[in-house]
Structure 1
Amino acid sequence: MRMHATVSIWQREHDGSYVAEMNGYKLHVTWKPEAPGERRGFRWKAELEGKEAAASDELCEEPELAMATAEAFARGKTTAS
């Protein structure tokens, strides 16, 4: 099943990253550029009360997928991935 982000809750930051708040979590999606021997892609993290609660282990090809995964974590439907 393909996950879909709630695009309307996400705000684009000046540095090109995206932030949102959901269920008390501050969600953040950032771009990781390609480097020699490393993939490029989007990663997400969730903070609760200023402390990192979870972060992606893998990069996502599309920002919407990283957003949707972060939202699923905030809803309690998944673990960090």
Structure 2
Amino acid sequence: MKLTAIESLLVKALTLSSARICSKQEIILGIGKDPQTYSGLEMSLSRLQNKFRNVFDERLFRSVRNRGYCLVQDVKISHQHN
């Protein structure tokens, strides 16, 4: 599955979070954006979720009301060079 740069950073932020639930602010900081001005998080997460679901027929993460997001799949990050 080919991910965009933002999608890759989203997966990394969710995976490397020290807490099981990752707040929106932590995710936005993890992708190198300013939490005060970045408004594309939900759209980027939606696209990532759809991409994962289309390939694996499962969700990658779930939202936790008023807290953020958490992974529901085990993720291993590998660095692939073209």
**Structure 2 length-normalised TM:** 0.27
Higher helix share: 2
Higher relative contact order (CA 8 A, sep 6+): 2
Higher strand share: 1
**Structure 1 length-normalised TM:** 0.27
